[in-house]
């Protein structure tokens, strides 16, 4: 796989920025002009996790034409798997000091750990679950949906229903995932305090590494022959069938891969924000992720990362400065991008340096699909 200039720039900027922030936080004393406060580190780490979710959305939406309005579900499931590990690490330091049960279970009057919590005190098991839970859910969901040739807006609606169903399920205390409150008050991860500046800086750098790895993997996938088939499926699914391809298999592979990527993003998100609760399943979150991709430029990968970072930076600033107008601003941004920048921020760059044999697909059907 050859990397073009945009890809190199993406990798260098993501890694460079994360390292610079981490070093400035660790190597300079608080109060000095060059010091980066820890809240900025946590914020940046959170943005990078959102960028992983955006990358996952772009992979299925930009290259396979699957407009998922439920991708945050996979992100949240990865987050819950990590949250369960972090809960088990609390041990006797909880309010009730129960070594065997997390606080919320003691509060509910439970006496035994539910079977599905077994093994979560062991980090490798938690990691496996971060990959497996979103992956298997995506496999089952995708197998059923793609085999029945559910496409377009119908598929979008059932992905939305999927995340909403999970939202309702995780709200229930009986589910054993902390209900409404979710999981919080984490103490440490692999023995490092989650509150420590050094851990936060480390998590930021690890998030950047994972984002870069996911970016490279996604790029490999879309530039391979597999990716070419995928783009063909996106634009003219029927034609690929008459050529002997099974579009449903291609969609399923990329769908599961994308769900796992989102899950990993969620797993890195939880230790950095310190909480996971059912609101992560809220349908609005998934729709926001689609907006990030649309803003950055659908079907460009780099654009997904830019979109996630820019929109979330805007969200942080807006919700601080004018909290009541943020949703209007987001809606306006989406309409503006759909109407005037169908290729998003990346379209602005592409206009200046368009080469004849670009691998970047035409993105015009994107706008139509969203508005239609």
**Gap between the Cα atoms of 266 and 113, Å rounded:** 24
**Gap between the Cα atoms of 80 and 74, Å rounded:** 10
Which C-beta is closer to another protein: that of 283 or that of 344?
Answer: 344
Which among 297, 300, 324 has a CA at the least distance from the CA of 311? 297
The rounded radius of gyration (Å) of the Cα atoms in the chain is: 21
The CA angle 113-137-108, to the nearest 5 degrees, is 25
Q: Rule CB under 8 A: choose which of 253, 282, 310, 367 binds another protein.
A: 253
Which C-beta is closer to another protein: that of 250 or that of 292?
Answer: 250
Which C-beta is closer to another protein: that of 149 or that of 172?
Answer: 149
Q: Rule CB under 8 A: choose which of 239, 322, 325, 327 binds another protein.
A: 239
Q: Rule CB under 8 A: choose which of 2, 242, 340, 354 binds another protein.
A: 242
Which C-beta is closer to another protein: that of 36 or that of 229?
Answer: 229
Q: Does 148 bind another protein (CB under 8 A)?
A: no
Least distance CB 274 / another protein (angstroms): 38
Q: Does 29 bind another protein (CB under 8 A)?
A: no
Element at 331 (helix H, strand E) = helix 326-340
Least distance CB 5 / another protein (angstroms): 20
Using CB under 8 A, which of the segments 28-36, 227-235, 280-288, 332-340 binds another protein? 227-235
Q: Does 356 bind another protein (CB under 8 A)?
A: yes
The CA angle 104-107-108, to the nearest 5 degrees, is 90
Q: Does 2 bind another protein (CB under 8 A)?
A: no
Q: Does 1 bind another protein (CB under 8 A)?
A: no
Which C-beta is closer to another protein: that of 172 or that of 239?
Answer: 239
Backbone angles phi, psi at 332, to 5 degrees: -65, -40
**Gap between the Cα atoms of 265 and 278, Å rounded:** 16
Q: Which of residues 204-223 bind another protein (CB under 8 A)?
A: 221
Q: Does 187 bind another protein (CB under 8 A)?
A: no
Q: Does 250 bind another protein (CB under 8 A)?
A: yes
The CA angle 203-206-212, to the nearest 5 degrees, is 140
**Number of CB atoms found within 10 A of residue 15's CB:** 15
**Gap between the Cα atoms of 335 and 345, Å rounded:** 14
């Amino acid at each position: 796989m050859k990397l073009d200039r945009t890809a190199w720039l993406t990798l260098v900027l993501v890694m460079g920025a994360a390292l610079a922030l981490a070093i400035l936080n660790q190597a300079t004393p608080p109060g000095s002009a060059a010091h980066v406060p820890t809240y900025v580190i946590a914020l940046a780490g959170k943005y990078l996790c959102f960028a992983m979710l955006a990358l996952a959305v772009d992979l299925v939406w930009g290259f396979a034409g699957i407009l998922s309005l439920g991708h945050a579900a996979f992100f949240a499931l990865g987050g819950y798997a990590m949250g369960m590990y972090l809960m088990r690490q609390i041990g006797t330091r909880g309010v009730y000091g129960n070594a065997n049960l997390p606080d919320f279970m003691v509060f509910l009057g439970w006496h035994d750990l539910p079977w599905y919590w077994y093994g979560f005190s062991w980090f490798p098991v938690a990691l496996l679950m971060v990959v497996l839970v979103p992956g298997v859910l995506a496999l089952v969901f995708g197998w059923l949906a793609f085999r029945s040739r559910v496409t377009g807006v119908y598929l979008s609606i059932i992905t939305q229903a999927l995340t909403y169903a999970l939202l309702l399920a995780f709200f229930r205390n009986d589910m054993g995932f902390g209900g409404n409150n979710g999981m919080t008050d984490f103490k440490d991860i692999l023995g490092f305090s989650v509150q420590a500046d050094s851990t936060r800086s480390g998590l930021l750098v690890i998030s950047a590494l994972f984002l870069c790895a996911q970016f490279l993997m996604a790029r490999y996938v879309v530039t391979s022959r597999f990716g070419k088939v995928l783009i063909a499926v996106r634009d003219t699914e029927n034609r690929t069938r008459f050529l002997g391809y099974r579009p449903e298999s291609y969609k399923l592979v990329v769908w599961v891969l994308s769900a796992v990527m989102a899950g990993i993003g969620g797993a890195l998100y939880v230790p950095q924000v310190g909480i996971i609760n059912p609101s992560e399943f809220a349908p609005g979150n998934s729709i926001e992720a689609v907006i990030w991709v649309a803003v950055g430029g659908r079907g460009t990968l780099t654009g997904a990362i830019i979109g996630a970072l820019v929109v979330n930076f805007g969200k942080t600033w807006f919700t601080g400065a004018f909290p009541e107008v943020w949703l209007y601003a987001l809606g306006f941004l989406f309409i503006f991008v759909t109407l005037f920048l169908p290729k998003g921020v990346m379209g602005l760059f592409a206009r200046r340096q368009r080469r004849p044999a670009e691998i970047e697909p035409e993105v015009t059907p994107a706008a139509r699909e969203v508005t239609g």
